[in-house]
Each structure stands twice: as structure tokens, then as C-alpha cells.
Amino acid sequence: MFVLAEQIGLPVPAVPVLLGVGALAGAGRMTLAVAFVAAVAASLPPDLLWYELGRRRGGRILGLLCRISLEPDSCVRRTENLFIQRGRKALLISKFFPGLSTVAPPMAGMVGIARWQFILLDIAAAILWAGVWMGLGYMFSDALEVVASRAARLGNWLGLILGAMLVSYIAIKFVQRQRFLRSLRIARITPAEVKSRLESADDTLFVVDTRSALDVRAVPYAIPGALWIAAEDIDRRERELPRDRDIVVYCS
């Protein structure tokens, strides 16, 4: 259930559950193979759904996922950079990074990875991800059992503590997102204003397209006259930016 919820995009961490399952298996209280298959099976359906939506709807789905998962929109950029650097191999390691694990499947659909390739890579990623965390829980089952026995003494207090931790986790993510959105509102200009100034041949305006190569490939349209500089290349190409004009940057 936790694995399914995390892959859907909800801010629910599944790693502690996988560790706990591995510890229970190490103590002989659960069959590791059954739990492992269940975790992998729970991971695939939501990943395949997001892949298909990304393939058909593109960037809008990535924005929706970032809002659901309470991750700042920069999680899309991190995933794009990961795909640029590692290609299809990015799917194998994305599950180990909170936020990226949910954004990677629709990104795979956007960049045109074949469905059969995605399914194979996603299954391999789920096996690797679940195997590592369950394996750690299995190896350190004795230590985790001591922790669990001490936690059991807390009784209802444990539930309150865990509930408080979950609420705090969600609150932190929410605050991070609000700060990110607040930073975007600074010195903001509307699309209508940009359009009006471009139509009036306003030579004090300079437009920069900061989309990644993947975004440009997925949606090959741009504001007329805009200079394309990917966000990560701005520092390297800053000399190309005029100092005497109003610079407007836009992304996906």
C-alpha cells in the first residue's frame, strides 16, 4: 500500500516500510519472496499509468505530479538533467531519489522510450529498489527488532510520534513548495504583457527560453526572437545576455 501510494505521487515514504518488511522476514515472521513480489507488483501499475499520460499529455502531467507530490517544480528539471546525463539508465536509479521516482515515468513517455523498454527498465528498477531496502532490513533484522521491541513499549505514543513525523514531513514539503512559488512571483510579467511589448517592437525587451533540451524536443515551439539558453547553462553563457535591456526568462 505504501509503495503504491508513493509511486502514485502522494507524499508517503515507502522506504521505512520496506525496511520493516525485510526485518520481519529476517525474524521469520514473513515470507520475503512474497513481500518482494508484492512491492514490485505495486510499483508497476502507477508507473505505467504515468508513462502513458506523459506520452500523451507531456509537460502538463509533470506539473500535475509536482503539485500532487508537494515537490517544487525544480524536481522536473532535476529529472530532465538526469535523463540527459544517463539516458534510459536514469530509470534504474530514479526510485532512490524522492520526487524523481514519480516524475521519471512520464518523462520516459515524453522522450519517446518504447513501452516495452520502459516496462523492462521499470521492473528492473523496482527489483533493485525494493531489493536494496528489504535486503538491508533483512541483514539488520536483529537491530531493527530491538528498536521495534522498544518502540512497542511506547504503545499509543508510538502512533502519535509516527503521525507527528508524517504530518511534519508533509508540512515541510508544503512550506518548501510555497517558498519556491513565492520566489517565482518576484518581478513577474504576464504572457499578455510580453506579447504586447513584442508586437509593439519594444527593443528594451529581451526574451530568454530556459527550457531543457528535452522540453524543447517535446514541444518544439518558442517565443519569436527568444534566445534559447538552458537554465543550467546561464552562468556559462551570461555574456550573451544584454545589460541594458529588460530580460524575461521562461520555461515549461
pLDDT for res 24? 76
pLDDT for res 243? 82
> 184, 206, 221 — which closes off a domain?
184
Phi, psi dihedrals of residue 250, rounded to the nearest 5°: -145, 155
| CA 58/CA 112 separation, integer angstroms | 11
Tell how far CA 116 is from the center of its chain: 22
Same domain, 67 and 37: yes
Give the structural domain span for 239. 191-250
> Which residues of the chain register pLDDT less than 50?
none
Same domain, 175 and 210: no
Contact 101, 73 (CB under 8 A): no
**Residue 224: CATH number of its domain:** 3.40.250.10
| CA 38/CA 131 separation, integer angstroms | 12
Residues 6+ apart with CB under 8 A from 198: 205, 207, 223, 224, 225
Same domain, 63 and 111: yes
pLDDT for res 29? 73
Same domain, 176 and 106: yes
pLDDT for res 169? 67
Same domain, 179 and 195: no
pLDDT for res 93? 82
pLDDT for res 178? 66
pLDDT for res 249? 85
Model-level pTM?
Answer: 0.56
Question: Which three cell numbers mark 229?
Answer: 539558453
Same domain, 237 and 114: no
